[in-house]
Amino acid sequence: MVHLDLHLKEGKTSYVAIGLEGSANKLGVGIIRHFPGPFSTTNRAEVLSNIRDTYITPPGEGFLPRDTARHHRNWVVRLIKQSIIESGLKISEIDCICFTKGPGMGAPLQSVVIAARTLAQLWDLPLIGVNHCIGHIEMGREITGADNPVVLYVSGGNTQIIAYSEQRYRIFGETLDIAIGNCLDRFARTLKIPNEPSPGYNIEQLAKKGSKYIELPYTVKGMDMSMSGILAHIDNLAYDLFNNKKHNKTIFNDDGTPKVTVEDLCFSLQETLFAMLVEITERAMAHVGTQQVLIVGGVGCNERLQRMMETMVLDRRGFIFATDERFCIDNGIMIAHAGLLEYRMSGKGFDYSDTVCTQKFRTDEVLIKWRD
């Protein structure tokens, strides 16, 4: 059984939505077109534009909410104009405006929702609030064609193992403290490596040059995982390496020469964290009884994570799905897509009183009306 559009207007051939994403340091605007008919996972959506601008800080620094919000305010109008031009659409062809309601950083979220409310009043269009994680999942399913996978959601602010059941995306496991993207980014700040194009990407490139594995804490607790202790441990190793603390025999030989390099530390951190993710994902596959794994979120672009997960999935005779940086990194098109799915089921948007953003918005709070 599939859901059908509930409010297809006479003579209408498609639905169009514009999506605004700004939950962290990436500002994204995307426009998507859905063709009417059954809700399937293929051949129903067309990406018309997908534009993104990233707030980059100097090496060794993170991004503060107020500075990130200022970046979003400065760029949002330009990105909206550019997106509309690129799509080739008239404003009258847009059916709804979608925005990230949460989770995310408070000030950046607020800067984008104000832009969405303004557009809604200027263009007299309904507003649709979208859960950030649901946007990642639905865009991943649309692009890859994954039917009913276990979802590994890995990003700067989230680490969750998710599976669908009874119109909810259920969380089977998650981080107990910091997210994996945050862990990688904070170690990048310790190393004072560039934040362009992203700290996690630069850690990945350094890790490719590493070969010596340094044993780190491995913290899996049932279906959950913890990463703050791992980060503290490897931060101490990096501090001793940089400051030539030769008493640390983990990283120095007896003659005082280093045993390891910065590249080895990056390699060891990735291998440990990704092994933990593979373990809890495999356990979720067994519990749910599915042969599919879908990786979404910014860290999902990591090639080493994809290869490690692929090895496990193929060993179980399953299938792995992932997207490239256009869709795994935060973007506006995923918000437009998930918001348009919601709009097609209801035909109406939020009241302005419902457009308040929230930093805490659990994945399993959302009723997935478009799936059985």
Sequence ranges of the binding site for a divalent metal cation: 132, 136, 153, 330
Residues in the chain: 372
Joined together, the tokens standing for residue 349 give 């948007």
Quickly count helices (H) and strands (E) in the chain: 10, 12
d(CA 166, CA 271): 35
Which residues carry a binding-site annotation for substrate? 153-157, 185, 200, 204, 302
For residues 266 and 210, is the Cβ–Cβ distance under 8 A? yes
At residue 178's C-alpha, the angle toward residues 190 and 326, to 5°, is 85
Q: Please give the Cα distance from 162 to 170 (Å, whole number).
A: 5
CA atoms within 13 A on the CB side of 87: 28
Residues 176, 196, 156: CA angle, nearest 5 degrees:
15
Tokens of 350: 């939020």
**Do the strands 127-131 and 96-102 form a parallel or antiparallel pair, or are they unpaired?**
parallel
* Residue keyed to tokens 């890790």: 207
Q: Among candidates 132, 63, 58, 73, which has minimal Cα distance to 99? A: 132
- Tokens coding 281: 């994902």
Binding-site residues sit at 132, 136, 153-157, 185, 200, 204, 302, 330
Q: Name which of 206, 204, 184 is nearest 301 in CA terms.
A: 204
